[in-house]
Structures are given as C-alpha cells and as structure tokens.
Amino acid sequence: MRFLRLMRPSHWSKNVFVFAALVFGQRLSGAPEEVLVAVGSAICGFVCFCLASSAIYIFNDIIDLSADRLHPEKRNRPIASGAVGVRSAAALSAICAGGGIAGGYALDGGFGGIIVGYIVLMVLYSLLLKRAMILDCVVISIGFCLRAVAGAVVVKVSISPWLIICTFALCLFLAFGKRRSEIAQLGENGGDFRETLGGYTPELLAHMLDVTSGLAIVCFLLYATDERTVAIFTDKLIYTTPVVLYCIFRFSALVQKGKFSGPVELILQDLPFQIGFVLWCLLCIGIVYADKLGIDWGRMLAY
C-alpha cells in the first residue's frame, strides 16, 4: 500500500488531458472497431503517462526529502516519513519510467518519444527549473501540453494549434493557482518548503491568476468561434462559456482562500466544481457529436 501511495494515484487525474483529442478529434464516432481501437489506444496512453508521471513524483520526493520532512503535509509522504527507503523508491521510479517508455513505444513511436521528452523535461524541472520563479509554472504547463499532444498522436488525429494554446493557458492558470494555495496555507514560511515561494507574493499571484484566467477564457472563446472549429464541429461550443466561467472563477476563489493544497485536491473534493466540470464535458460531447446522438441544438436553442 505504501508503494501505491508513493506513486500518488490521486494525481493521475492530471493525465485526463490525454483524452482531449479523443473527444474533440471526433474519434468516438465511426465504425465500432475504429472507435474501440481509438478508445483502447487512449486508455493505454493514459496508463503510460500515469507510470511516467509517477516516476517523476517519486524522483521529486527523493530530491525534496529534507524539505518534505519539514512540511506540515508532505512529511507524511512515504519517503519523508520513512515508510519507504530511498533505494526502494529509486527502484520503483526506474520501473515506472521504464514501463511508461516501453508501453509508449509499443503504442506508437511518436507517442513513446513524447513520453521520453516529458520525463527528461520533468527531471530537469525537479533538479533545476523548479527553482526559477515563473519558469517553474511555465514548465509545468508545457508538461500538460505534452500530455494533450501525446493524446492526439496515439489516437492518430491532426494536432490543432488550439489544443496546445488552450491547454497551455489553462494549465498556466492552474499552476499559478497551486502556488497561491501553497502561500495561503504556509504563509510567510513558504520559502522554507519551496524555494520559489519566497519570490512570489499573494498580490503578485492574484494578478497572475487574473491574467491567466482571462487568457484561458479568451483562448477558449477564440477556439469556439474559429472558422475551422465551426466547419468541423459546430458553432455551439460558445454556449458552454457560462460553465467555463463558473469553473475558472470558483477555482480561483478557492485557491486564494487556501482551502485546498492544490488543484488536484480541489478537483477531487469540491462537489460544485466537479458538477460544473462534468456538465461542461457532457455539453461538449453532446455538441461535438450532436449529429450522431440525434440532437438538434438549433431547434433547442430556438426555444
């Protein structure tokens, strides 16, 4: 059980970005055998990224061992608490990384290459880049973009620039939100646990949250009204904007109050946010696959 905790299964939720291209690339419609292959490939890709990300979480816990032992929450992690030895943790990290890479190349050569790129980037982040204020959040966002791109590669759909732009903008907002929640919980001692927190201030992060939330919303609106989106999908995605606004504003409000230690905890524990997110996903599926589902949005919206 302690080894499973070490892999942080709750954080595997971050890898849902792998499924974005499956939905918006319209791979959930078509011949049944093609849909099954696409869904199976996406699920396998998700598992590979779970293994790769777990390898990085373990590696990061080893690197941050001393600081984690001083942290009010992280000191309970398996390595920091002494439940798992460093050598055992390093072996598990190597096994996860190897499994993720091998599985990735078995699925698709390009997908495997992205897994390798992700691991290399995150190792650099753990060793060096996370100590650079602002750059730390940028690198985290790039990591999520790699997940989204990998999802497009593994289900074999063209990579839309909007997939990268919207993912980067949203994840930059989430990354700054995590820093804000850490400061709200740790206060003036934040720099003792994470070096970059010493450079951030609540006012600076509030400004960054305002900017990146606005950027994420604008990117979504531009994507929803883009000629290619309208031609391939529909012009109805714009009607999901109220739900998008609700989720982003609720997330911003909660992290600034320090009610959750990070985005994962908020997403997994806050019911109103969960309802909003699930509703948005269902609306998007209903809109993108309206023809296949027999939904006439034009007639419904006319009322």
- Express each pLDDT in 191-218 by its tens digit: 555 566 767 888 888 899 999 999 999 9
Q: Does the structure show a pLDDT above 80 at 243? A: yes
CATH number of 1-159: 1.10.357.140
Q: What pLDDT is attached to residue 241?
A: 93
Say how far apart CA 151 and CA 286 lie, in whole Å.
21
* 100 CB neighbour count, 10 Å cutoff: 25
Beta strands in 5-113 (DSSP E): none
Is the pTM of the predicted complex or chain greater than 0.85?
yes
Q: Which pLDDT value is given to residue 298?
A: 57
Domain ranges in the chain are 1-159, 160-303
Q: What is the mean pLDDT of the chain?
A: 86
Q: Quick one: pLDDT at residue 233? A: 72
User: What whole-number distance in Å separates Cα of residue 184 and Cα of residue 178?
Assistant: 10
